[in-house]
Structure 1
Amino acid sequence: MAGLLVEDREDAVVVHGRSELQWLTHLVKCHEAELVELERLNRYYEGTQPLSYMHPELQRELEDNVRQVVINWPRLVVDSIEERLDVEGFRFPGKVESDNELWRIWQANDLDEQSQQGHLDALVMKRAYVVVGTNADDETTPIVTVESALDMYAEHDPRTRRLVAAVKRWSVGEGQDQVDYATLYLPDDTIWWVKQKGGTWLEDADHPRDNHNMGELPVEVLANRPRLKARNGVSELADVIPLSDAACKIATDMMISAEFHAMPRRVAFGFGEEDFVDQNGRRMSVWSRVAGRIWATSKSRKDDGADVMQFPEASLSNFHSTINQLAQLTASLSGIPPHFLGYSTANPASADAIRSSETRLIKRAERKQRAWGGAWERVMRLILRIRDGEWSDDARALETIWRDASTPTVAQSADAAVKLFTAKIVPLRPTRERLGFSQVQIQRMEELDEQAANEVMQRLAGGDVTPLFGTKPAPPPAAPDPEPAPDPVPEPVGAAGGNAA
């Protein structure tokens, strides 16, 4: 495999006082220093962390008999936030609807799935990265990939707080055949590298460098909770890990107690091994002696001194109350409702109380949407720059459209949206967005609206005014003709009373 030393290239550049090779070795060293912590955080999310708070001697003694009970609260805390982070489109300034072209590029790069994975990794391992590059097969659709912090590292400029350099690392093969590769991202160049057997990095001649001359990196960072002095973010698990370790320790202790103390323990006096046999005279196993319900023997207390005692079994309620207390602490620190952690009270919470308990979780999700919305908008600007060859002024004010992070009922959402639309406070399209319809569904609805409007115009052009005034109401039914009165009956002669003169 051919390679060139950076010092041998005439076009080698210096960025912020470092050469290309110096940037590569510096970033690789910084990444190696963080890998141990990142892998530890990843194990906690996967539920493969080691057992804590147990004496090593006791752990060695029980290793063959007792396994760790993992209560994976870290995954629950992360997933509860990530499930409320769904990008639904991008809107240019002054536009009501989302941009179809940006959404096409989003879908072509499978960013529905990749964005979810990036949000998840950022919550767990402090950050994730988004890389934009050219597409040789389709110049109108740049390639966008979301990268893990386990594979990538970037450094910020302390003056501008923008990325000044980044590296992505990967390996091909295993053992003696393993080859290490790296991609170095600089403001005007993207360079591919390969590591030799002696540990020297050489520029990969099979991948010519990309002199894009954009003036900034084609990389963006999805940092979780970045701070002014911690631009790379903080893991969402920082406050949860100690409580999760304590819960796993208590749950494991509970299983040990269930093994040795939760069942009644018996002690027998005056018996030998020959007394523990079944009805066929075969010797019983140790477990049968412990768990057997009925013991029978011909020995007596008076003559043989035989006796059997039973110790009271241990209650496990103290473990239950400790785990419930840890669950409440986890809920208070992470902002998730206590019922997410299985904590319940004697009186079930009402629907309003449940929604109220989700307020902090919803606010946290909305904070993530605001921070990561800006990162995705910068990614869209990079996409337009790579596609068009120039920066778009309109893209500087892009808006990321997120799905509502709250969980109202369908009836509540529909009622609120219809009232706002009826009062002419919100137009029709934002009303449909508020109801949770996707951009594709809204576009189909608008097509049906336009089709119905065209049909009305065609009917009006033909002289049919029914669409304007509705159908003519039917006349009321005619009243029936009155029945003729019956003829009077003549009175009989002399019926008036009295005698004739």
Structure 2
Amino acid sequence: MADPSPLALARQLLAILHRDGDRLRHVDDYLHGRHADPYMPAMADDEYRLLARRAVSNWLPLLVGTPAQALYVDGHRPGKGTESASAPDSATPEWEHWQRSRLDARQAAVYRGALAYGHSFTVTERNRSGAIVTKGLSALKTSALYEDPANDDTPYAALTVTAWPKDDQPGSARLWDSRREYAVSFLSLDDEKSVRVQAGSLHGSAECPVTRFAAYVDLEGRTLGVIEPMICLQDRINQTVFDLLIAQTYGSTKVRTVTGMAPPIQRNPETGEPVLDELGNPIPLRVNHNSRRFLFAEDPDVRFGSLDETPLGGFIESIDMSVRHLSALAQVPPHHLLGQIANLSAEALQAAEVALSRKIAEFRTSFGESWERVFRLAAELAGNAASAEDHRGEVVWRDMESRSLAQAADALGKLREQLGIPERGLWRRVPGVTQTELEDWEQMREDDDSVAQLAGALTRATPDVEVPVEKVAA
């Protein structure tokens, strides 16, 4: 790519936001329950429209939340040859940067944005106090340019909107290229002539400090999330629920009928003559009838009957079928959506979640590469040349599979005894273990080793005297 001016880059990036804006806002509406109305007659009354609003059954947040809840970075393992390769994860500069940026909590928003819209972004920079931090950027406000969008992990330039235009006031944005950061102002996304770019300042990195987190990327460089392909199925579910509510409201009870019987009419209390309306017809009296009252007639020609209620089972089965289709296409186990777990063994549950586990593994591979670039950017800003070139480092994902502690202990014991894996190498695989607990275990093991070495030295110096380990420790 030729080296365009910052103004040309800003115009291209704002044009990308304008081009993708409608599609991403459509996805955002469905994610937050603002769905298209189900089909209804053109002359539908307010009651119909109320049922249409109540028919929205938003399943799409589950498609984002289920895999996102299994994505949690719990550490960083530097590659060999770096200064921090032998240090515990919590002592490495990379993990200190992670904690300083408070990414333990903020990483979830990055994953959810990427899964919902297809991509999200982070920017790694120095804040006002001089500390190096990484923060997330929304896909609705951020765009990036790549020379090869399908294969490059480093953008040529990136822009994020910090304020939208309002009341004739221009909007503002931040623009990064490979060397500098610029302040951008604009009146609208599609008005190229209104774009203004101020003189830039060095951001300190040798490349654009913005990193993309993409759920799916094809060879054309297009990103896709988990929401957009499921919008048609979500509309089908809403339509079926609407039809169910219509049938439930208007046809789910028996209708009692009577023929050959005229209702009583209003009469003048003085003359006994019928009271007529404007058209000259007698005005009928209201019949006070409910489930506790009976109707009877003296005329033998009167006939009583009933109309059967509309069966609702077909609507319910149709909703269940559509949700199962949603489950299959989204690779989310049906029991996550339907909540039906009955008499299922552990093996059956594990088999049901195989597709979801593979999907999560794919996301971990993609997002892990992005976090590794973030760590390299932070190391470069900190002046750590070795870590900035560390392409062998990797993030450590927390094991989120459902296993009991007894099952894990049995499996870890077999790995140590049968395969000879070192004990400390298995500590990370203990379910639920945190980085702080690993540090404590390391310190306890070092303390125990020191006490044992001191006791052995004293024993060798005075072989006839037994020195209890408790006294030496004291």
More deviation in 117-126 or 325-334? Answer: 325-334
2:380 corresponding residue in structure 1: 385
2:68 corresponding residue in structure 1: 82
When residues 393 and 151 of structure 1 are mapped into structure 2, their CA distance, relative to the original with a 3 A threshold, is closer
Identify which of 182, 188, 198 aligns with 1:191: 182
Give SS of 1:453's match.
helix
1:369-428 residue CA offsets vs partner (Å, 9 max, x unmatched): 111101000000000111117574652211111112533333222211122123453333
1:49 corresponding residue in structure 2: 35
Identify which of 393, 416, 423 aligns with 1:421: 416
Give SS of 2:228's match.
coil
Aligned: 1:445 with 2:431:
no
2:338 corresponding residue in structure 1: 342
How many Å separate the matches in 2 of 1:399 and 1:56? 58
How many Å separate the matches in 2 of 1:259 and 1:445? 63
2:24 corresponding residue in structure 1: 38
1:254 corresponding residue in structure 2: 244
Aligned: 1:324 with 2:289:
no
1:398 corresponding residue in structure 2: 393
1:416-455 residue CA offsets vs partner (Å, 9 max, x unmatched): 1122123453333331111131211101111122222223
Q: 1:65: Cα distance to partner? A: 5.2
Show the 5 A alignment for 1:76-475.
Answer: 76-94=62-80, 95=85, 97-98=88-89, 100=91, 101-138=93-130, 141-158=131-148, 161=152, 162-171=154-163, 175-176=166-167, 178-195=169-186, 200-204=194-198, 209-212=200-203, 214-229=205-220, 231-269=221-259, 270-272=261-263, 292-297=290-295, 299-302=297-300, 306-342=302-338, 344=340, 348-388=343-383, 390=385, 392=387, 394-423=389-418, 425-436=420-431, 437-463=433-459, 464=466
How many Å separate the matches in 1 of 2:444 and 2:59? 46
How many Å separate the matches in 2 of 1:430 and 1:253? 57
Structure 2 unaligned residues grouped into runs of 5+: 267-283, 460-465
How many Å separate the matches in 2 of 1:273 and 1:398? 90
| Amino acid in the other structure paired with 1:201 | V
Give SS of 1:183's match.
strand
Contact residue 125 and residue 203 of structure 2 kept, 8 A: no
When residues 238 and 193 of structure 1 are mapped into structure 2, their CA distance, relative to the original with a 3 A threshold, is closer
> If you compute each CA radius of gyration, which structure gives the higher value, 1 or 2?
1
How many Å separate the matches in 2 of 1:370 and 1:284? 75
Identical-residue share of aligned pairs (%): 21
What's the Cα RMSD here? 3.0
1:460-484 residue CA offsets vs partner (Å, 9 max, x unmatched): 444446569xxxxxxxxxxxxxxxx
2:10 corresponding residue in structure 1: 24
TM-score normalised according to structure 1 size: 0.79
How many Å separate the matches in 1 of 2:40 and 2:224? 28
How many Å separate the matches in 2 of 1:457 and 1:179? 71
How many Å separate the matches in 1 of 2:440 and 2:4? 53
| Amino acid in the other structure paired with 1:145 | K
How many Å separate the matches in 2 of 1:332 and 1:64? 31
Give SS of 1:236's match.
coil
When residues 48 and 183 of structure 1 are mapped into structure 2, their CA distance, relative to the original with a 3 A threshold, is same
Give SS of 2:123's match.
strand
Structure 1 unaligned residues grouped into runs of 5+: 1-14, 276-282, 469-501
When residues 268 and 373 of structure 1 are mapped into structure 2, their CA distance, relative to the original with a 3 A threshold, is same
How many Å separate the matches in 2 of 1:163 and 1:103? 24
Contact residue 122 and residue 211 of structure 2 kept, 8 A: yes
More deviation in 231-240 or 122-131? Answer: 231-240
How many Å separate the matches in 1 of 2:264 and 2:446? 92
| Amino acid in the other structure paired with 1:38 | L
More deviation in 73-82 or 427-436? Answer: 427-436
How many Å separate the matches in 1 of 2:347 and 2:313? 31
Contact residue 152 and residue 166 of structure 1 kept, 8 A: yes
Contact residue 366 and residue 405 of structure 1 kept, 8 A: no
How many Å separate the matches in 1 of 2:229 and 2:215? 14
How many Å separate the matches in 2 of 1:273 and 1:113? 72
**Residue-pair matches, total:** 434
When residues 330 and 297 of structure 1 are mapped into structure 2, their CA distance, relative to the original with a 3 A threshold, is closer
Contact residue 205 and residue 377 of structure 2 kept, 8 A: no
Contact residue 109 and residue 143 of structure 1 kept, 8 A: yes
Give SS of 2:136's match.
strand
How many Å separate the matches in 1 of 2:7 and 2:467? 78
Give SS of 1:396's match.
coil
TM-score normalised according to structure 2 size: 0.83
1:4 corresponding residue in structure 2: none
1:73 corresponding residue in structure 2: 59
1:101-123 residue CA offsets vs partner (Å, 9 max, x unmatched): 32221111111122110100100
2:463 corresponding residue in structure 1: none
Q: 1:35: Cα distance to partner? A: 1.2
More deviation in 360-369 or 159-168? Answer: 159-168
